[in-house]
Every structure is written in C-alpha cells, then in structure tokens.
Amino acid sequence: MRCPYCQSEKSSVIDTSHDSKGGVRRRRECDICQQRFTTIERAILSTPLIIKKDGTREEFNRDKLMHGIRIACAKRPVSAADIDRLIGEVESSLQRLGRAEAPSRYIGDMVIAGLKEMDQIAYIRYAIVYLHMDDLGEIKKEIDHLLTEG
C-alpha cells in the first residue's frame, strides 16, 4: 500500500476492523515518514449491465446514482451515511440478482422506496424526475397520498 504522504510502498498495519458494508478497514503507519492513514478494502463483485429505457446498455455507475440521490436530498436532513447506505443496498441487490443484465427501472424503484422511508421531500424531488411528473396535479396527488399514509 502506497503512503499518501511520501509515496513509499512500505507500511505496517496497526489495526484491522470490519465495517458495516462488509469491507475491511486497516489503520496503517508508513515505515518511512511515520504518518498514519486508513485504507478500506472491499470485494469487487460484478454488477449487471443496466438496460436503459431506450434499450441501450451501460455499466452500473455508483457515482452517477450518488449524484442523483444527492440532488434529491440537497438541503435536507439526510446524512451522507444514509445516502451511502441506500446506494450500497441498491448495488448489493443488483449483485445478488446473479444476472448479466437488469432494467434501470429496478434501480429506480429501489431508490424511490428508500427515499420514501428516509425523507419525503427528497422522495418527491426524485419522483418528479423519475416518474416524469410533469403536471402539478400529479405532484399534488402524490403529496396527498403521502399525507394520508403518514
């Protein structure tokens, strides 16, 4: 493991623990400059290709999903840890499918369900784009539905 401070490849592991996402967290100390740093190791499992609405296929992009969710959660009391947890759930669910391809709708449905539990305003923001709500009547109907559920 290369030291982020001096670029040396010589470091010692001081402590090892497991994180909630199944990864291994290691606290290291550089043997050359004695600076300490943390590394996180996690297995790279393959995710299926995502079939878009127009029929095109693309690789699952965790960063793209995070960007969309962060926009929906902007200025809302949703922690980065909650967003990361939701993305992790979506990614692991895709991996468990065990298929070579999955429809983008599968991802969108999981995100919409997760946001609905996390923050209703973020849910509405995401739903407006994801469900193509282009008229105020549809949006009001969804808000009324949320209010009667709650």
Give the mean model confidence (pLDDT) for residues 15-26. Answer: 82
> How do residues 23-33 score in pLDDT, each as one tens digit?
799 999 999 99
Give the mean model confidence (pLDDT) for residues 75-79. Answer: 94
pTM over 0.75: no
Asked if 35 and 90 sit in the same domain, the reply is no
Per-residue confidence (pLDDT) for residue 138, from 0 to 100: 87
Question: Is 3 part of a structural domain of the chain?
Answer: no
State the pairing for strand pair 11-18/24-30: antiparallel
The DSSP-derived string for 22-80 is: S-EEEEEEETTT--EEEEEE------PEEE-TTS-EE---HHHHHHHHHHHTTTSS--H
User: Is 70 exceeded by the pLDDT of residue 78?
Assistant: yes
The DSSP-derived string for 77-135 is: S--HHHHHHHHHHHHHHHHHH--SEEEHHHHHHHHHHHHHHH-HHHHHHHHHHHTT--S
Question: What domain range includes position 135?
Answer: 49-149
Per-residue confidence (pLDDT) for residue 36, from 0 to 100: 96
Number of structural domains in the chain: 2
Give the mean model confidence (pLDDT) for residues 10-20. Answer: 89
Asked if 36 and 83 sit in the same domain, the reply is no
Per-residue confidence (pLDDT) for residue 150, from 0 to 100: 63
User: Is 70 exceeded by the pLDDT of residue 10?
Assistant: yes
Question: Is 1 part of a structural domain of the chain?
Answer: no
